[in-house]
């Protein structure tokens, strides 16, 4: 790697940190290089070093935003981490059902939802269990920092590759229409989720709002300070007896004193004060 | 160790699928068409069958109908794996008794997901 490459990656890392709070680790350089290539083609920029030079002046805000969008990892799929998702839709939601059976009101936040597969997986789960959730007021709110990911999420349209990642064929037939090589989510499931752009480093709207927050496979891209800040924001947004779900490889241990690992549900976390 | 029978007339697809399945700790057998697959299932029923649609001698759909109607079947899960990617084909396969459907081209993660969905992983 040349000194110029190192400088260029440092510039890109600073850009990503400034706009999203995420770190650009050295092991993601090749992935980022690949992700930026369509931008080079679109703007007739000859190479990544030239892109670095153009970004260095901080004069082209649109180009900077475009690069940040490309560098954010939008990896997701339907029913991601099936075993953990089954724990969520089984025992965890059973527990939520009991806790909220007096109000029959459930507020769920899919934080860092990427292209929408996670909140839509939840919406399909509720639609598949109409008797259990009859009369409930369930709101699934989903946010992400990426404008392009949110646009796809709102459209609910997925490629052949995306549609068969994690989604059982019966649910695909039930909830999607085929449009040539793409699959369009039907209106009832799309209506069950609201989307908004949000940076998790910023405070969430409202305190103690959400009964359940899903924030999976995002904290791993943050530095310690930002991770602590995001966990603080999530704790503030969660109800006193709510639950936080993290990615299978993530934990709050050693990251914050606002959450404690659930004794009942592996991979789930509770407000530390509720103990 | 779970077993999988790959039924596909393409040597390349059989090789790719075998590689993925073996890394997932499956014992793998291969058949080049539905007729050979029926014979193999009569001798030794696999846990899961990865089934192409268009094959000479006996197609995937002909195999599936014969297999599901036959006393030789022993609860094997059937995953269609085909370039027939239209919704009518998918619905027809499910109606005929397929448990899952993979649209080609596929990658390791897609196949792994589908094997989890049918309970073979």
The domain locations on chain A are 3-71, 82-274
Residues 57 through 96 of chain B touching chain A, CB cutoff 8 Å: 85-87, 90-91, 94
Let me know if domain B3-117 sits in CATH 3.90.800.10.
no
All residues of chain A having their beta carbon less than 8 Å from the beta carbon of residue B90 are 169, 172-173
Where do the structural domains in chain B lie, given as residue ranges? 3-117
Residue tagged 């084909």 (tokens): B89
Write the ipTM. Answer: 0.93
Sheet with strand A182-185: strands edge to edge: A157-159, A182-185, A176-179
Give A257 to chain B, closest Cα distance, Å: 36
All residues of chain A having their beta carbon less than 8 Å from the beta carbon of residue B103 are 160, 164
**In tens digits, what is the pLDDT along chain A, a chain of 275 residues?**
565 567 788 888 888 988 888 888 888 888 888 989 999 999 999 988 888 888 887 678 889 989 999 988 888 999 999 999 999 999 999 999 999 999 999 999 999 999 999 999 999 999 999 999 999 999 999 999 999 999 999 999 999 999 999 999 999 999 999 999 999 999 999 999 999 999 999 998 777 899 999 999 999 999 999 999 999 999 999 999 999 999 988 999 889 999 999 999 999 999 997 55
User: b vs e for B9-32, b when ≥16 Cβ sit within 10 Å of the residue's Cβ?
Assistant: beeebbebbbebbeebebebbbbb
pLDDT above 90 covers what percent of chain A? 72
Q: Do A169 and B101 touch (CB under 8 A)?
A: yes
Residue of B nearest to A86 (CA): B117
Strand partners, B100: B79
| Whole-angstrom distance, CA of residue A147 vs CA of residue A152 | 9
| Whole-angstrom distance, CA of residue A218 vs CA of residue A205 | 19
Q: Note whether A237 and A111 are within 8 A (CB).
A: no
| Whole-angstrom distance, CA of residue A183 vs CA of residue A151 | 15
| Whole-angstrom distance, CA of residue A20 vs CA of residue A68 | 8
Task: State phi, psi for A129 to the nearest 5 degrees.
Answer: -130, 60
Residue of B nearest to A79 (CA): B113
Give A65 to chain B, closest Cα distance, Å: 31
pLDDT, tens digit (0-9, with 9 covering 90-100), for B29-51? 999 999 999 999 999 899 999 99
Global pTM value: 0.92
Give A164 to chain B, closest Cα distance, Å: 6
pLDDT above 70 covers what percent of chain A? 97
pLDDT, tens digit (0-9, with 9 covering 90-100), for A63-96? 998 999 998 888 899 999 999 999 999 999 999 9
The pLDDT assigned to A48 comes to: 87
All residues of chain A having their beta carbon less than 8 Å from the beta carbon of residue B87 are 173, 177-178
Q: How distant, in Å, are the alpha carbons of A45, A111, A145, B67, B94 from that of B72?
A: 63, 49, 54, 7, 20
Q: Do B100 and A173 touch (CB under 8 A)?
A: no
**Fold of the domain built from segment(s) A82-274:** Rossmann fold (3.40.50)
Ordered alpha helix ranges (H), A192-267: 224-237
Give B110 to chain A, closest Cα distance, Å: 5
**Which two three-digit tokens encode residue A239?**
């109800």
Any chain A CB within 8 A of the CB of B103? yes
pLDDT, tens digit (0-9, with 9 covering 90-100), for B85-121? 999 999 999 999 999 999 999 999 999 999 999 999 9
| Whole-angstrom distance, CA of residue A75 vs CA of residue A56 | 28
Which is it for the CA torsion B26, B28, B34, B38, positive or negative? negative
**Which two three-digit tokens encode residue A113?**
């939802």
């Amino acid at each position: 790697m040349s000194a110029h490459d190192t400088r260029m990656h440092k510039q890109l890392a600073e850009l990503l940190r400034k706009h999203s709070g995420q770190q650009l680790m050295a092991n993601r350089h090749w992935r980022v290089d690949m992700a930026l290539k369509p931008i080079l083609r679109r703007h007739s920029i000859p190479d990544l070093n030239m892109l670095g030079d153009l970004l260095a002046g901080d004069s082209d805000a649109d180009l900077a935003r475009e690069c940040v969008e490309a560098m954010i990892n939008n990896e997701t799929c339907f029913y991601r981490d099936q075993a953990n998702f089954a724990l969520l839709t089984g025992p965890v939601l059973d527990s939520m059902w009991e806790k909220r059976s007096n109000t029959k009101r459930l507020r769920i936040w899919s934080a860092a939802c990427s292209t929408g597969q996670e909140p839509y997986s939840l919406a399909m789960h509720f639609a598949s269990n109409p008797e259990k959730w009859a009369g409930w007021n369930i709101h699934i709110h989903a946010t992400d920092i990426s404008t392009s990911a949110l646009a796809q999420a709102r459209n609910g349209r997925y490629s052949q590759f995306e549609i068969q990642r994690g989604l059982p064929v019966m649910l695909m037939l039930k909830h999607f229409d085929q449009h040539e090589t793409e699959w369009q989510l039907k209106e009832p499931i799309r209506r069950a989720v609201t989307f908004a752009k949000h940076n998790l480093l910023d405070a969430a709207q409202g305190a103690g709002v959400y009964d359940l927050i899903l924030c999976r496979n995002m904290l791993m891209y943050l530095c310690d300070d930002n991770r602590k800040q995001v966990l603080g924001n999530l704790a503030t947004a969660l109800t006193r007896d709510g639950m936080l779900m993290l990615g299978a490889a993530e934990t709050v241990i050693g990251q914050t004193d606002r959450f404690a690992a659930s004794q009942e549900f592996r991979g789930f976390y509770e407000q530390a004060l509720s103990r | 160790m779970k077993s999988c029978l790959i039924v596909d007339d393409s040597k390349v697809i059989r090789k790719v699928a075998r590689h993925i399945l073996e890394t997932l700790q499956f014992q793998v057998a291969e058949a080049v068409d539905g007729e050979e697959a029926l014979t193999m299932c009569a001798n030794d029923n696999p846990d899961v069958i990865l089934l192409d649609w268009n094959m000479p001698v006996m197609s995937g759909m002909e195999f599936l109908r014969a297999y599901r109607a036959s006393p030789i079947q022993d609860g094997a899960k059937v995953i269609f794996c085909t370039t027939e990617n239209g919704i009518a084909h998918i619905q027809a396969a499910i109606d005929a008794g397929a448990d899952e459907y993979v649209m080609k081209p596929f990658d390791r993660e897609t196949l792994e997901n589908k094997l989890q969905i049918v309970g073979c992983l």
